[in-house]
Copies of this chain bind each other. A is one copy, B any other.
Amino acid sequence: MSVDFFENNYQVLEQALAAAENRGYWSPYPESPSPRVYGETAADDGRKAFESLRDSDFPLGVSGAQGSVGAERSPFGFDLGIRYPRVAVETLVQQAEAAMESWRDAGPKAWVGVCLETLKRLNARSFEIANAVQHTTGQGFMMAFQAGGPHAQDRGLEAVTYAWQEMSRIPEQADWEKPQGKHDPLRMRKRFTIVPRGVALVIGCSTFPTWNGYPGLFASLATGNPVIVKPHPGAVLPLAITVQVAREVLQEAGFDPNLVQLAAHESNDDTASQLALHPAVRLIDFTGSSANGNWLEAHARQALVYTEKSGVNQIIIDSVQDIKAVARNLAFSFSLYSGQMCTAPQNVYVPRDGIQTAEGRMSFDEVAQALAQSVERTMSDPAKAVELTGAIQNEATAERIDAARALGLPVLLDSRALEHPQFPGARIRTPLLLQAEADDECIYQEWFGPIVFVVATDSTDHSIQVAGDTVRRHGALTLSGYTTDESTAEGMRKMAERSGVSLSLNLTGAVFINQTAAFSDFHGTGANPAANAALSDSAFVANRFRVVQTRWHV
């Protein structure tokens, strides 16, 4: 390797190791899109770079392509017109296997070095990626920048950090000397080689292609495995740019760029299942529906499968200091990217006889109204609102709002279409708030999108019991509780730990249940049906490589 990317980036890795250990706040990738941080022309350059990619062939420089594919349309109302090389599944796998040969011998420092350098360069292209994320996922620009750029890079770096931590604890060589009483000791030398599992597959989603794609991509690459990135046909560009950057770094480091390949494909073809069932594919990272995730877990038996699927995220309101602060926080969470987040809350449990506040008792209806009014206020200025909601990625999500309305539950706040001042064709919807009872079966499934049920329960104990059962049966990535009573908080925590979901208590400020911070918050627990892994921990990386030892007498 002519350039030592490991050495060049070692300082960041060292800081990342420390951050993962103390779990305080840390990020090497600034989340502020300010010109003071990224440079005066960065925003403009990024937009122009994005524009220049439109209506042309994406320059990926791949081998083995047969024609091209691409039909992305911005949820803000225009076609991207970008064409990606189409490479047959068998070709992708063969190229990955061929590329693995020299990669495996390069060892952990080379693998990690390439990953760190790739992340650094991705960070430099955060504005371009932000545009790409915005116009594939429908996220508002600020979220597209932060979640699609620096925060995704954080999660990628976190995976690399854990991978390095696990690999670096295996000594390259050891001397073993066993005493034999009066005789000479037995002496052996042992060499420990970290070996990759094989070809890795990353199956991207349409809403957070980079944030959800980077952990698996970098965890597999950092442990010596070649990676095939299969993007969602509706959100190819952010991952195409990512693959492009990784290939550029690999090439500079003297490796075969086919260690990271893009598997762009037509929507609804069988590329995903062909890849997932290929005997050479030994690692799969998936984000998407429970149906597809469960199918992978059941059928891709030749591979280790890491899934993040769907769930029912819940909020328990027991008692509050200031209902307005609570409602503001929740209105933001309901509206943010129109609930198209795996962490977005859906069911809000409130005792039917009301809750205690610092200003006295509030009835169930008053709580429900406070939430509805806060959402309405948040949505009152369309120009501001659309920055928060972004656009609806998929028409099916817009239709789901209609289906929820048709359930016949009392409507607390109806969903409206909003006009985007800049993008008249954008598909934008405000949150729908419905009132429900705890025994309405329809609320115990995921209603992906801006759909919220305010659910009357018999008591907070009942809320806790219902929430726990729901986590165990249907899975959840987040749980939020509001209470001013310590023993109730303790009860919520006990339930969360027993059902296996992380809990946020009394969020009223600028921290939202939808968001987790790399190096500090685990994303998911891997302990309930919503996900079989957490981002990131040792378990997420430790089985992506194996150790093969050679021993001999000395």
Contacts and interface: CB of A to CB of B under 8 A. Distances in A.
Contacts of A78: none
Interface residues of A, number: 64
A529 to B, nearest CB: 11
Contact of A176 (B178, B517, B534): B517
A527 B548 CA distance: 9
Nearest to A505: B552
Given A520-B190, A522-B549, A551-B504, A24 B175 contact: yes
Contacts of A383: none
Interface string A500-526: 111111111111000001001110011
Contacts of A193: 493, 497
Interface string A165-202: 01001010011111110000010101111010100000
A448 to B, nearest CB: 24
B188 A553 contact: no
Contacts of A551: 502-505, 511, 521
Interface in A529-554: 534, 537-539, 542-543, 546-553
Contacts of A174: 22-24, 520
Q: Which of A21, A497, A537, A553 has the most CB of B within 10 A?
A: A497
Contacts of A509: 186, 553
A177 B25 contact: yes
Contact of A549 (B21, B297, B503, B526): B503
A497 B195 contact: yes
A221 interface: no
Nearest to A524: B546
Considering the complex of A and B, which 10 residue pairs feature the smallest CB-CB distances, nearest first?
A23-B174, A527-B546, A539-B542, A505-B552, A539-B543, A538-B542, A503-B550, A25-B178, A502-B549, A497-B548
A538 B166 contact: yes
A301 interface: yes
A227 interface: no
A484 to B, nearest CB: 12
A298 interface: yes
Contact of A546 (B21, B188, B525): B525
B178 A517 contact: yes
Contacts of A549: 502-503, 521-522
A542 B552 CA distance: 30
Contact of A24 (B176, B180, B197): B176
Copies of this chain in its oligomeric complex: 2
A93 interface: no
Given A506-B553, A552-B506, A23 B176 contact: yes
A496 interface: yes
A550 B505 contact: yes
Contacts of A169: 21, 538
A180 to B, nearest CB: 8
Q: Which of A24, A104, A191, A526 has the most CB of B within 10 A?
A: A24
Contacts of A22: 171, 174
Interface string A480-503: 000000000000010011101111
18 contacts: A23-B174, A25-B178, A169-B538, A188-B511, A191-B493, A195-B500, A197-B527, A496-B548, A502-B549, A502-B551, A503-B550, A506-B552, A508-B553, A527-B548, A534-B546, A537-B547, A538-B538, A539-B543
Interface string A75-97: 00000000000000000000000
A471 to B, nearest CB: 10
A101 to B, nearest CB: 9
Given A23-B174, A511-B553, A527-B197, A522 B506 contact: no
Nearest to A178: B25
A546 B521 contact: no
A547 B531 CA distance: 13
Contacts of A553: 506-509, 511
Contacts of A552: 504-506
